[in-house]
Structure 1
């Protein structure tokens, strides 16, 4: 409600309705009224310096300085209200059954004290992962001046908006691997401990390894990524086998999804890129050492050399491995028959 500025002294009443919604359903409402007393007195209201919106990662300690001044040089009192304080209208801490947010709770250091201006107070809040939600926290700050009697004191308000975001999954690595019937990419990452029970880890993938220009305080996967798997929070590895093509670069990210209608997403992990190698041996040399025929001795000899499959690790496919060399007659021969079997 903004009324700038009343043109006549008097007492004015306003009524407004407060609605409570849960999961998109209106579950209750209450009507409240407010009285405004307009006086003609030589006093100007105090001011709180503008506050920028804060975006912090869960687990960070917030120490935000609040500065208030009064144009008439009066002393001022800074006070604060909002869910993170977990206090009732009387300023007392709410019991556990009525807690507005999980602990730890915020404090306003030097709040409620009469100070010479410019006055300062510090909003201090040790955040944690249990307080994560998609919607920001709004802290209402109030400054009241203390003029000499009989001049009435005036107030001003300022809102400090805090967006609390979940940390990114750390330590993501990606490497090509193989399964008996298909191509595969093996992902590994560090255990993720942020989030309440029911938190999921979502694996995202895109073709190409172009860098992503992600603005600060952005949660969820960047544009261009598609979801390939949802895993429990306890997972630390995943093997991707979904429609992978050789010679194509793939980029991976992991995002945490927090439970509940207002849970939201974490910051995306760092991008891990790779290109699927050829998991097959490649013939590098075919040399005719000597010629002959089936009726002469010695018979002809050909030397064949090849490279082992690039990207194939000793633990892939379970081993042991075997090379099978096949041969066909003629430059355009199609009828191949085995000529050698080599175990590794």
Structure 2
């Protein structure tokens, strides 16, 4: 069997969820959209089922997959509904939905829902992606209550630059949110992972409020620089494979497509069963860190579809069959992402073909 695989540590996932609860003192929706950022939505939701306050997904298809597997906790649709016909399914499966546009509000007003909805009313506080305009926010809240179709409203927004600790934009967005809500008394939800880890002033003041940990659940930092709270996270995914061939090259020899690497000294090359078809970033340059049998070294040459090459020159104990960690506890995904000019979110979400193996299953 091809040795490439992704090891998913569900005990680490639970640790990271508990850290989100500890840091915030609030309830936490575990964000498992995009197949739990490539970690497997069903196993991750099942691992958290006994302690998560709820889950968040992007769309109703993802929510229905969880419900079909027996997940009964609240599930929030972060993008709300895409057409009014989904409201019947939202009611049937007891889902919560974000309302971020006036057309969604109007669809709820026109609907004949069998039971009142739980709505998370989203404000555009400055990210300018989705969300109601601040001038429309309190009126929208009032219209939802007056419709008789809504049982509960949570006030929410989303920060655009909370992963930049010195950027004033998060404080500005927080001020816009506070001004837009005015005297509205309701549960709130502002903090995603970077806000929860890096902006204590944005944490909810009331235990009944909500945070929305995403990337931190999976043990990756959203910050480019070291950050004290993020250092407490435990990596959930270890992407690994093995050396399947070894080459001894003299100085001056090219390696891989395009001859992007030419040996400057006699070089021992290890060929690893891992490539961009598995989700490893094709543009990762020579020097991108890997660990071979627990010792760090780097990529050499261009990543190809099914294989990549690593430098074994200074690792005489490594050879055919040696274990290679592409990212995990020894090689943080954030380091690989930085080298490839990407982000951990994308590395995880791009994972494919390499089978997932789970530990820490309850």
TM-score, L = length of structure 1: 0.23
Greater RCO, CA 8 A, separation 6+: 2
Larger Rg: 1
Instruction: Indicate the structure with greater strand content.
Output: 1
Instruction: Indicate the structure with greater helix content.
Output: 2
TM-score, L = length of structure 2: 0.22
